[in-house]
């Protein structure tokens, strides 16, 4: 006689401290993209041209550095290529292209909120596809962080329901969720530096089809633009955006996925809008409202709850197993 039982196992402990520091640093680096890219776009470059430059240059520099210093990292097993290609096309290029497409048709605050719903999508994937039981506090912290993000983005201002823009924003969220999920799996198989390098190369190929870098006007790159009270050449901002906001940010994010699960990393990454808003205030003179400051506090509180919940044991539902049971007597 057999009965069906569900086995619950405890996941191995994660190095939450290091992972938390890495994803926060990644969020800070990524948050510089707005303040660095906006003056370049004000100078005459399109969002697609800025994206083409930042991803293309990041891919070129990473490839050169890795090829010279650690060429072994460029070797990838054939079995990993399908997932790696998806990571580059969706997690690198897809997020950028769809986010800018959303920004072109709906308010930035709405587009930002849509993209940063990725933590909820990741949590749903972990719970219902991987069948991992998440602590209740993690769900509470995720929702709290999303409320704070809505306050920071001030999504109620200038709402315009453009179907294509909304679909692009939802697509950006799906791509961002795919980045965390696929990145978590690949980070366990491929060294972060090699993974980010190939991800940038694959992403750059797609971006170059949409916005070839040779179409970028050289005279605009040489022109100066205002940045935080200084007058600097546009190309310097784009180089900083490629190295700091792109290459370093992605490398730190992938490294964090080696220490923390994807659902935790995706929520902690929500500090990026706070940093981006603060930098816009410091460098571009965009004032913060009381609601935005309050939202930042709420968002950080939610992210803290998630981080603390990540230290609690997490159990996974395993498939039901038939186990023999001897009748009593």
In a domain, 326, yes or no: no
Q: Would you place residue 121 in the very low, low, confident or very high pLDDT band (cuts 50, 70, 90)?
A: confident
Q: Would you place residue 33 in the very low, low, confident or very high pLDDT band (cuts 50, 70, 90)?
A: confident
* Contact (CB, 8 A) for 298 and 148: yes
Q: Would you place residue 200 in the very low, low, confident or very high pLDDT band (cuts 50, 70, 90)?
A: very high
Q: How far is CA 86 from CA 117, 121, 178, 203, 242, in A?
A: 20, 18, 9, 9, 21
Structural domain count, the chain: 1
In a domain, 325, yes or no: no
In a domain, 329, yes or no: no
pLDDT at 233 exceeding the cut of 80: yes
Mean pLDDT (the chain, rounded): 78
pLDDT at residue 286, rounded to an integer? 65
pLDDT at 136 exceeding the cut of 90: no
Residue given tokens 């969706």 in the structure block: 90
pLDDT at residue 138, rounded to an integer? 76
In a domain, 319, yes or no: no
Domain extent, residue 42, equals 9-312
């Amino acid at each position: 006689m057999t009965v069906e039982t569900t086995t619950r196992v405890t996941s191995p402990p994660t190095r939450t401290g290091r992972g938390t520091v890495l994803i926060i640093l990644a969020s800070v680096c990524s948050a510089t993209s707005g303040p660095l890219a906006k003056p370049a776009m004000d100078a005459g470059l399109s969002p697609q041209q800025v994206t083409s430059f930042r991803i293309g240059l990041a891919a070129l520099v990473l490839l050169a550095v890795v090829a010279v210093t650690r060429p072994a990292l460029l070797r990838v097993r054939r079995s990993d290529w399908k997932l790696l290609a998806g990571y580059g096309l969706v997690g690198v290029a897809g997020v950028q292209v769809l986010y800018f497409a959303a920004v072109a048709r709906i308010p930035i605050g709405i587009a930002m909120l849509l993209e940063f719903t990725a933590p909820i999508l990741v949590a749903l994937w972990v719970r219902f596809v991987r069948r991992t039981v998440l602590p209740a506090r993690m769900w509470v912290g995720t929702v709290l962080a999303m409320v704070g993000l809505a306050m920071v983005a001030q999504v109620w201002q200038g709402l315009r329901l453009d179907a294509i823009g909304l679909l692009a924003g939802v697509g950006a969220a799906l791509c961002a969720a795919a980045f965390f999920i696929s990145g978590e799996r690949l980070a366990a198989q491929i060294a972060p530096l090699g993974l980010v390098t190939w991800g940038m190369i694959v992403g750059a190929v797609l971006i170059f089809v949409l916005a070839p870098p040779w179409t970028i006007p050289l005279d605009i790159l040489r022109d100066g633009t205002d940045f935080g009270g200084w007058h600097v050449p546009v190309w310097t901002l784009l180089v900083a955006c490629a190295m700091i906001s792109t290459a370093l940010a992605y490398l730190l994010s992938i490294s964090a996925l080696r220490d923390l699960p994807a659902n935790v990393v995706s929520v902690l990454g929500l500090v990026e809008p706070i940093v981006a808003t603060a930098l816009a205030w410091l460098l571009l003179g965009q004032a913060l409202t009381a609601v935005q400051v309050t939202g930042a506090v709420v968002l950080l509180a939610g992210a803290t709850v998630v981080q603390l919940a990540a230290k609690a044991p997490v159990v996974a539902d395993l498939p039901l197993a038939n186990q023999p049971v001897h009748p009593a007597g």
